[in-house]
Structure 1
Amino acid sequence: MNSLLIAAIIFTAIPVITYLIYVLAILRSPNSKIHTPNSQPPITVVIPTYNESEVIEHRIKNLVEMDYPAENIHVIVVDDQSTDNTVGLAAEAFKKYDLSGEVIVKEKRSGTNASVNMGVGEATTDFVVTTDADVTFEPDAVNHALGRLLSDEKIGAVCGELEPIARRDSFTTHSEKAYRDVYGKMCSWESGLHSTYCFNGPLIVLRKKAFSPIPETKGASDAGMALRIIRNGYHCLYESSARFSEYITNDMSQQRRQKLRRSARLQEATLHNLGLISPKYGKFGMFVLPLRFIMFFIAPASFFLAVILWSVVLGGINIFWGIGIWVLFGLALLSGQWKSNLVSSFIWHQIYLLISLVYMSKGVHVWQAIERKKV
């Protein structure tokens, strides 16, 4: 058999087998039980901010509107040297909505990870919620996440599920919606095995005793937090019933920047925690993390090498077959412009993962947020 054909088959098999495992697992996974907490203990809500004047009041108002006693909520806004009026508006909102809260202004801009460490470190409650300034919790979101957390002492943190909202349909919104349709199911399956570290940072409920400060310049704050908690001997779970909303940008350049930053920081967190690949961490260490490593680092390169090799192999038989591979690839890539679909979203996801390997070396722990919109 031709060596190019063998290579094409091997490189095709890597992403196909990796994602087929998740597809089969998702199809076999039962619906998770919704947990309601028997009590609503005091919680601290930590909100890292940077230039959030458009959304910060709305964010604080949303916390008061939850199905959770406002008197049991204390908010810590950790501001990363905003150049707008975020600090003043946050302080005013605490008074306006009669909510216990404080604003901590950092001495220098150092990124989200440092803000999370500071906020959780200042919390005096057993349970802490970390969130973003531009999202909106559904009324029962914290209750569902906290109920899951309290269902087992071995659970150290629970994250919620993102409901993306678009002001208008576009190529970027189609791609993101298709991606989010399966993202949560993948994380839920990993949670059923042991843990997932692909957390949604805008809604994480954690036990403070399970938390350890995350590296300030290594990886995403949400993934880094989950990986530290897993290292500390706890489980980290994804709770699909704990829902929050966030606007998707319609701007392709903003989405590209956001995707590359998120991918790079997730890859960086993965590399920084490869020591968790060990029987000591159960099915997470022996299955989940190795599978994610393949998905983030090996599968993207294998996928594009497979496309190139198949075009060469088939082009050697008939030039039009080789050209046909690239025509089909292009049509699949752009099909998401007309209708949300997993094929287009998958290809774009592989592109982002591949490019972000280079982007990762630039250092992205301090970043400029995309447009801020109230939900």
Structure 2
Amino acid sequence: MEYFYLQLLFWLSLFLLFYSYIGYGMVLYGLVILKRKIFPHKPLSSHTLPEVTLIVPAYNERSCIEQKIQNSLALNYPAGKLTFLFVTEGSTDGTTEYLAQYPQVTVLGGSERKGKIEAINLAMQQINTPIVVFTDANTLLNQDALLHLVKHYSDPKVGAVAGEKRILNADKEEAAGAGEGIYWQYESLLKKLDSELYSVVGAAGELFSMRTHLYQPVEKDTLLDDFIISLRIAAQGYQVVYEPDAYAMEKPSFSIQEEMKRKVRICTGGFQSIVRLKHLLNPFRYGLLSFQYISHRVFRWTVAPLCIPVIFITNALLMPLSRWYEALFILQCVFYLLALTGYLLERRKFHVKALFVPFYFSFMNYTVYLGFIHYLGSKQTGIWEKARRS
């Protein structure tokens, strides 16, 4: 009888882990195919280009601000309909002074650093255009990004449009950077399917647009402002659309340590977001949005990391039962041994691409535990130390 419950726990945990990373994508794809047959896609109607404000939070970004401003000014959009707003709140490295030479750019400075979300809350009070686009200072946008974003606003049901995040990998990339790139390629596919089914569940702050009047001021200690903002728009009944032809290019983290710093902050913010968006866990009220949010986000931050040790331990206890369990346990050991090998080689600056996936999978779930500990043990603040990029 004890083996029965162990097997039940093992297979249930394995199913939930599989569903969190792969199964949901399969179900999502099937639902999208079904929707295409029942509700054929309707082309977007043409409309007049709306006025847009591009907001760039830029705290101490002197190292990349020159490239960012040139990229922004080169965007393909009617000059009279595009406003640039850089928020340099408390910068001490010359970012504010550098931007002063561009009269077409409005700069919100200030002598004190209060954090990105307070900077955004402040900036939103200055906006008088119907559409606002957020982008980070260390990312570069493709030339037609804004045109691709705003075309979706011809549909009144669309409240926000998220662009795609692309990681620029070098030829000899660290495991952290290469793993991040693989992860975002898969995430981009899921977001495309999420959007086609109903709505994206969380936009990436590297490139994200919205209808200005839908903005709700965000708590100043919020860690994942882009995630909270976009899901609160979806909770109002609007769709958050994904547009892969509008993309932000960003270099990967400088090292494993820098990527860990970034992932722990994201995971800490994930638990904070689950608490603040707990109303979205009610599928009777939010329907498809709840299904997508729970499957794509909540499971990744809560259920999947818990399943990993449960699968390993129960599998070890079940080995006397059959050779199948022995084989599965050996496969698990090999997988984690590859992940550990990838980590040790990476510390010696030796990169093996075959180890990127097991390493980054284990690394991501490890940072979830660290993020949870950090969430429970420290007071959250919207001010954080930025992770260095390559």
Out of 355, 375, 385, the residue aligned to residue 360 of structure 1 is: 375
Going from structure 1 to structure 2, the CA distance change for 1:91 and 1:334 (only over 3 Å counts) comes to farther
Out of 340, 352, 355, the residue aligned to residue 338 of structure 1 is: 352
Q: CA deviation at 1:252?
A: 1.1
**Residue 183 of structure 2 corresponds to which residue in structure 1?**
179
Going from structure 1 to structure 2, the CA distance change for 1:36 and 1:268 (only over 3 Å counts) comes to farther
Aligned residues: 366
**Residue 220 of structure 1 corresponds to which residue in structure 2?**
224
Given the alignment of the two structures, is residue 329 of structure 1 paired with residue 329 of structure 2, yes or no?
Answer: no
Given the alignment of the two structures, is residue 165 of structure 1 paired with residue 168 of structure 2, yes or no?
Answer: yes
**Residue 387 of structure 2 corresponds to which residue in structure 1?**
370
Q: Distance in 1 between matches of 2:14 and 2:44?
A: 41
Contact 2:202–2:228 (CA under 8 A) maintained in structure 1:
no
Normalising by the residue count of structure 1, what TM-score does the alignment of the two structures yield? 0.88
**Equivalences for residues 181-330 of structure 1 within 5 A:** 181-278=185-282, 279-285=284-290, 287-291=291-295, 292-314=297-319, 325-330=332-337
1:258-297: CA deviation from partner (whole Å, max 9, x where unpaired): 1111222133212211112333333103x11222222211
Secondary structure (helix, strand or coil) at the match of 2:199 reads: coil
Going from structure 1 to structure 2, the CA distance change for 1:197 and 1:103 (only over 3 Å counts) comes to same
Any stretches of 5+ residues in structure 1 without a counterpart? Answer: none
**Which one-letter code corresponds to 1:200 in the other structure?**
A
The range that moved more, 246-255 or 107-116, is: 107-116
Q: Distance in 2 between matches of 1:190 and 1:333?
A: 33
**Which one-letter code corresponds to 1:151 in the other structure?**
S
**Which one-letter code corresponds to 2:353 in the other structure?**
K
Q: CA deviation at 1:123?
A: 0.7
**Residue 150 of structure 2 corresponds to which residue in structure 1?**
146
1:80-123: CA deviation from partner (whole Å, max 9, x where unpaired): 3122111111222x23xxx2x22112453221111111112211
Q: CA deviation at 1:317?
A: 7.2
Normalising by the residue count of structure 2, what TM-score does the alignment of the two structures yield? 0.85
1:187-227: CA deviation from partner (whole Å, max 9, x where unpaired): 22222232223211011111011111122213401001112
Q: CA deviation at 1:57?
A: 2.2
Q: Distance in 2 between matches of 1:262 and 1:115?
A: 19
**Residue 10 of structure 2 corresponds to which residue in structure 1?**
8
**Residue 136 of structure 1 corresponds to which residue in structure 2?**
140
The range that moved more, 360-369 or 22-31, is: 22-31
Out of 25, 35, 45, the residue aligned to residue 54 of structure 2 is: 45
**Which one-letter code corresponds to 1:267 in the other structure?**
F
Q: CA deviation at 1:133?
A: 0.4
**Which one-letter code corresponds to 2:61 in the other structure?**
E
**Which one-letter code corresponds to 2:74 in the other structure?**
E
**Which one-letter code corresponds to 2:106 in the other structure?**
E
Contact 1:25–1:189 (CA under 8 A) maintained in structure 2:
no
**Which one-letter code corresponds to 1:17 in the other structure?**
Y
1:290-337: CA deviation from partner (whole Å, max 9, x where unpaired): 222222111111122212221333278799866664233222565695
Q: Distance in 2 between matches of 1:201 and 1:124?
A: 21
1:120-169: CA deviation from partner (whole Å, max 9, x where unpaired): 22111111011110110001111111112x13111111111011113431
Q: Distance in 2 between matches of 1:218 and 1:117?
A: 12
Secondary structure (helix, strand or coil) at the match of 2:129 reads: coil
Computed over aligned residues only, the root mean square deviation of the Cα atoms, in angstroms, reads 2.8
